[in-house]
Homo-oligomer: A and B are copies of this chain.
Amino acid sequence: MRLLFCGDIVGRPGRDALAEHLPRVRRELEPDFIVVNGENAASGFGITEKICNSLFEMGVDVITGGNHSWDQREMLTHINRETRLLRPQNFPAGTPGRGAAVFEATRGRKVLVLNVMARLFMDPLDDPFATVQRELERHRLGATVHAILLDFHGEATSEKMAMGHFVDGKVSLCVGTHTHVPTADAMILPGGTAYQTDAGMCGAYDSVIGMDKAVPLARFTRKLPTERLSVATGEGSLSAVLVETDDATGLAKRIEPVRLGGRLPEALPVLGAA
């Protein structure tokens, strides 16, 4: 099965990049299941019901979140109605929504999607490692589900690489989000799990992590209050990873970066080639 995961969608340039490039990606790479991180889709801060629906219409199967999941208040209620929308699983008990669920891919195959947040340099949620372990005890890769995809939303490369090894052999793909810059370390770990430290953002890269650069620059240099952050206006890039799994084991056979449009160096795998 082929899984496509697209990193944090940042505002209109990110949504436009998806609208422009996803059709080609679907045509050429024929993914069986598509997950996107949507925590910055609405002007950089959270996501709305309307944007969720437009992403589903593009062929997205599941939308994950992160520290910005609740920036648009309507999500606190919408997430209870929309089963295809996840938020980090390690928010405190009682938080609306969920961060782990099984979905159906093509030909009835089952995919468990996990969304968990890291803690280093971030707001302290419940232990992400214990959370992941608990969820993985409820499923068996290659037995109860055909694939498992973990979106580990975090800042520090050390915590993300540690999580990769923690789940190695137990999930199909462990991919990081949140830094808004794709890493060039797509690899299959020794146990068979596909791994990339960060998927990068779908957004405008002539920016500071997707936002217009004037305000962040002012903040870093002058330490005075500024205008609000606003999304950069340049052309966006799609930044994603494609993983091919073995349906019998759920493990990865191949992982490739996908980068199209905007200022990022292009990358597009060729089906069949390795």
Contact = CB atoms under 8 A, between A and B. Distances in A.
A179 interface: yes
Contact of A220 (B129, B182, B207): B129
A120 B208 CA distance: 14
A257 interface: yes
A216 interface: yes
Interface in A232-274: 257, 259, 263-265, 267
Nearest to A183: B181
Given A184-B259, A184-B265, A206-B190, A179 B157 contact: yes
A267 B125 contact: no
A184 B187 CA distance: 14
A165 B94 CA distance: 20
A209 B161 contact: yes
A161 B130 contact: no
A145 to B, nearest CB: 24
Interface in A126-143: 126-127, 129-130
A54 interface: no
26 contacts: A71-B225, A92-B127, A92-B130, A92-B223, A93-B130, A124-B127, A127-B221, A129-B220, A157-B179, A157-B181, A157-B209, A159-B220, A161-B209, A161-B213, A162-B217, A163-B220, A165-B208, A181-B185, A181-B197, A182-B184, A183-B184, A184-B259, A184-B264, A185-B265, A186-B265, A189-B206
Given A129-B220, A162-B208, 13 more contacts: A70-B225, A92-B222, A95-B223, A95-B224, A120-B124, A158-B208, A158-B216, A161-B207, A181-B184, A181-B197, A181-B198, A182-B185, A184-B264
